[in-house]
Chain A
Amino acid sequence: MVSERPANVAIVGGGPAGLSCAIELKRLGADRVVVLEREAAAGGLPRHTNHVGFGLLDLRRVMTGPTYAARLVSAARERGVEVLTGTVVTGRNADRSLVLTGPNGLAVLPANQVVLATGVRERPRSARLIPGDRPAGIFTTGSLQRWQSAGLGPVGQRAVVVGAEHVSFSAAITLRHLGCHTVALVTPHDRHQSYPPLRWAARVAVFTNVSVAELIGKGRVEAVVLSDGRRIECDTVVFTADWIPEHALARTFGLAIDPGSRGPVVDADGRSSTPNVWAIGNLCHGAETADRCALEGRHTARALMSGKPWPALPPLPIEIDGSVVWAVRSSGGVVAQVANVRRGRLVAEANGVRVWTGRRRLLLPGRRLALPDLPVGSRLSVTR
């Protein structure tokens, strides 16, 4: 086993959050910053999202996902970040060094600080417990967009997309590029949860207040049956959104996990319950846009370089009621997800006292609801 030269900061995951964190660390003068990326190329999920909509918040101009990913990778290299691709972190020793396997076999990387930026995935059909056989023609947005970027050709003729969030429309756009007609987006909510322009760009029907109850087909998908009994003939089904953080490593490291988001519990700078382990990006909250994750990575880099002593007490989860699906601190403040489409406001109470009141607005599930950091013991809910 090779012992690598110690790193000041080891960042696990080379997506927008991890790369942006690394770039900012180097800009602020960190010595050895290593990004460990398990795939053959760094850049994260935007690498495969081949349409515009990336970069505005982060780089002040709009570009496609692959272009944005390439920008981040080259900026990291220019700053002197070491990006190790094809490198998998499998554990952490008691002396805080990381256990790796990569192109040169097993290795150990001593690291003073570890930043987890392992990202997020969509729940597959099985995890959503959709009954039916196991036919071909079932995708997530992730597998669909990688299918397209690998140039594997057509997926089918008629698709049903499960979900109506930003990513669901992104899937519909990818389907159109692949020559597949999207029959409908299906959402259990009253309306879609994306921007009107994205909906317009995708040009698809949205079926509301309904979910997929069953998949029909044995060798190949033939149809879906909806919860209202309607049957839609299709040969392709794309399961979108319903994010689950890639939290296996965080759990292996013993980090406290938020029961709602299923990502690590962190403070508003990204500090986890374990000293010198940080967590950023969509690992903490599936799923924010790539730009938001990049800004978070930068925020955490600044906090890390400030050298502030690690707090004596671990961060605590934010309490919620049934109107909120989850609420977590993450770099820069608090983000929350509501359970249903509803006009109302988010309010936070601590010890029976209202500590924060949000603006009254249309609250949409699957959409970012950003709050300032809340005091310990806060409970978040939606009121009229």
Chain B
Amino acid sequence: MEISRRSNDGPVSGMPLGDKLVDVVVVGAGVVGTAVARILSHQQLSVVLLEAGRDVGAATSKANTAILHTGFDATPGTLESRLVARGSTLLREYAPATGVSVEETGALLVAWDREQRSRLPGFVDKAVLNGYDACRLVDVDELYRLEPFLGTGALGALHVPDEHIIDPWSVSLAFATDAVANGCELRRQSPVTSLTRTPAGWSVATPTGAIECSWLVNAAGLHGDTIDGWVLGEPSFTIRPRRGELIVFDELARPLNNNVFLPVPTPTTNGVLVSPTVFGNVMLGPTADDIDDREATATTADGLSRLQVAGRRIVPKLLDEEVTSTYAGLRPATDQRDYQISLHVDHHYLALGGIRSTGLTSAMGIAEYALELLRDGGLNAQSKESTMAVTVPSLGQSAVRPWTTGAPIICHCERVTMGEVQAACRGPVPALNLDGVRRRTRALLGRCQGFNCLAEITAACPW
């Protein structure tokens, strides 16, 4: 078991492992859990962040479509609408300051039939209700001028200039590193095995020891309803996993689109998007299939073939390029449309459930709101006088990366240096397996998928 913490960095440092008493335990180190742990670590609180898996942001959060949303198409008046708008503002400040790569692409909501086109003006009004007023209708001539590789038959589009793309992995990593640097204890490979009510709050049992806490925050994503049921006796929401399969195309496909191509959402069909990534690839997806199995992160023949059919229509030339990778992610959807965020003062418990693909954008807004709720519930959370700022390596194509200085490259497809791989295995939140190295450096994620460098990178890692 690896406990990653810097010494002398916060009020809880030096506490022994095993049974301990802390102010808050956050369950789940996805993008939401890490964001909450980060903001709590900036208060005069002792915080433990528990993660069942081997890494932060390694379940739902890693398989995100990587768009930094504006929230233009959220349902006005919902919590999601408010928190996406707020989270978006906060993340747009935090990402560049921390090194998380963002590319200001913009998005086009492309109408492929007259019915879709007739609904575009409605999105302009909806965006205004969501507090966003920069949407603009684009006619068919301008559309093809902007995007010459778009498939034929588009009738117009809505341009949303502030839908940007972001490095999704580094967001969770930055939040977790920030939290740890400010005294939060991160315990990975520590699934919650049981919860016991105590006079002061909760006793949280994990394979790495039990933790006594005053407050429990549930950011357990796909397993959020399980934790919720343990706390409340009866879960207040039910997770219905929605699988999204994606195909990532070679960097040579990158010139094929300038903007993110979004589908016009309809009540009956789930369209797919074609989006550049900050790593210089093009992503096609996701499918959206409601399933029962919370572990079913396998791609399917049917899903991949549906994506190809959809992609051929949106950007026909895309399908002529090589596929770099395919993957599937599970979104923790619920039977409700909105986020399921609720404070249970009597139970000393805060539930952050049902947070789907917008969670990457809204996480900092959710964290701010969570702190507010916990304070309302009686948690004495005073801000620290000073906090540690952290940075993470910038992995985007637009960043100046170490290979440009002549450092020896170990992964040629993605131009990752030996030093970057070694650094990923050190630091406050080190990689514990190859997947962790992949997300921290881009190594092994390129077109050869390890044909050239799997052995050398495996040999360079300490485990």
Whether the Cβ atoms of A101 and B326 lie closer than 8 Å is no
Most chain A beta carbons < 10 A, residue from B295, B322, B451: B451
Asked whether B325 is an interface residue with its Cβ less than 8 Å from the other chain, the reply is yes
User: Interface with A: B26-34, B67-75, B453-461, which one?
Assistant: B453-461
Q: Which of A144-152, A194-202, A273-281, A311-319 contacts B (4 or more CB under 8 A)?
A: A144-152
Taking a contact as CB atoms under 8 Å apart, the answer to whether A134 and B327 are in contact is yes
Query: Assuming the A-B contacts A143-B450, A218-B295, are A149 and B455 also in contact, with contact meaning beta carbons closer than 8 angstroms in the complex?
Result: yes
Contact with A133, one of B297, B301, B325 (Cβ below 8 angstroms): B297
A103, A126, A131, A149: the one within 8 Å of B325 (CB): A126
- B323 close to chain A: CB less than 8 A: yes
Per-residue interface assignment for chain B, residues 339 to 380, with 1 indicating a CB less than 8 Å from any chain A CB and 0 otherwise = 000000000000000000000000000000000000000000
User: Is B15 close to A, CB under 8 A?
Assistant: no
Bound-state CA distance A129–B327 (Å) is 10
Does A214 lie within 8 Å of B301, measured CB to CB? yes
Whether the Cβ atoms of B298 and A131 lie closer than 8 Å is yes
Whether, in the assembled complex, A94 has its beta carbon less than 8 Å from a beta carbon of chain B, the answer is: no
Q: Say yes or no: is B299 at the interface (Cβ < 8 Å to chain A).
A: yes
B250 to chain A, nearest CB (A): 8
Closest chain-A Cβ to B233's Cβ sits at a distance in Å of 32
| A143 adjacent to B406 (CB under 8 Å) | no
Let me know if A263 is at the binding interface, CB within 8 A: no
B412 within 8 A of partner (CB): yes
A127 touches B324 (CB 8 A): yes
Instruction: Give the CA-CA distance A301 to B412 in the complex, in Å.
Output: 27
Q: Cβ of A213 < 8 Å from any Cβ of B? A: yes
Q: How far is the CA of A149 from the CA of B456 in the complex (A)?
A: 10
Measured CA separation A136–B450 after assembly (Å):
12
Q: How far is the CA of A125 from the CA of B412 in the complex (A)?
A: 19
> Is there an interface contact between B408 and A218, defined as CB atoms closer than 8 Å?
no
Measured between C-beta atoms, what is the minimum distance from B146 to chain A in Å? 24
Contact B406 A104 (CB under 8 A): yes
Do the beta carbons of A146 and B452 come within 8 Å of each other?
yes
**CB under 8 Å from chain B, chain A span 130-144:** 131-134, 136, 139-140, 142-143
Counting CB contacts under 8 A, is B129 at the interface?
A: no
**B406–A127 CB distance below 8 A:** no
A297 interface contact, C-beta 8 A: no
Q: A126–B450 contact, CB under 8 A?
A: no
Pairwise interchain contact B412-A122, C-beta atoms closer than 8 A: no
Cβ-neighbour of A101 out of B301, B324, B403, B434 (below 8 A): B403
In the complex, which residue of chain A has the Cβ closest to the Cβ of B456? A150
The residue in chain B whose Cβ has the minimal distance to the Cβ of A40 is B408
Within the assembled complex, what's the spacing in Å between the Cα atoms of A303 and B265?
59
CB distance from A23 to the nearest CB of B (A): 24
Instruction: Give the contacts of B235-258 with A (CB-CB under 8 A).
Output: 247, 251-252
Q: Which residue from chain B places its CB closest to the CB of A124 in the assembled complex? A: B449
- Asked if B409 is an interface residue, CB under 8 A from chain A, the answer is yes
- CB-nearest residue of chain B to A262: B322
Q: How far is the CA of A150 from the CA of B452 in the complex (A)?
A: 12
Q: Are A131 and B301 in contact (CB under 8 A)?
A: yes
> How far, in whole Å, are A39 and B328 apart by their CA atoms in the complex?
33
What is the CA–CA distance of A34 and B328 in the complex, to the nearest angstrom? 45
Nearest A residue to B403 via CB reads A101
Residue of A nearest to B247 (CB): A129
Contact of A248 with B by CB under 8 A = yes
**Interface assignment of A309: CB less than 8 Å from any CB of chain B:** no
Cβ-based interface call for A203 (8 A):
no
Q: Report whether B323 and A88 are in contact in the complex, using a CB–CB cutoff of 8 Å.
A: no
**Contact status A106-B323, CB under 8 Å:** no
Contact present for A105 and B301 (CB under 8 Å): no
Contact B323 A121 (CB under 8 A): no
CA distance A134 to B329 in the complex (A): 12
Are the C-beta atoms of B406 and A105 separated by less than 8 Å?
yes
- Tell me if A244 counts as interface (CB < 8 A to partner B): yes
> Are B252 and A101 neighbours in the complex by a CB distance under 8 Å?
no
Mark A229-262 against chain B: 1 for CB-CB distance below 8 A, else 0: 0000000000000001000100100000000000
Instruction: Tell me, in angstroms, the Cα distance from A199 to B247 when the chains sit together.
Output: 36
| Contact assessment for B406 and A101 in the assembled complex, using a CB-CB cutoff below 8 Å | yes
B118 part of interface (Cβ distance < 8 Å): no
Query: Are A121 and B299 in contact, CB atoms less than 8 angstroms apart?
Result: no
Residues of A contacting B459 in the complex (Cβ-Cβ under 8 angstroms)? 150, 152
B→A interface (CB under 8 Å) = 247, 251-252, 295, 297-301, 303-304, 322-328, 403-406, 408-409, 412, 415, 434, 447-452, 454-456, 458-459
* Interface residues of A, Cβ cutoff 8 Å to B: 38-40, 86, 88, 101-106, 121-127, 129, 131-134, 136, 139-140, 142-143, 146-147, 149-150, 152, 213-215, 218, 244, 248, 251
- Among all A-B residue pairs, the 3 with the closest Cβ atoms: A124-B449, A105-B406, A142-B451
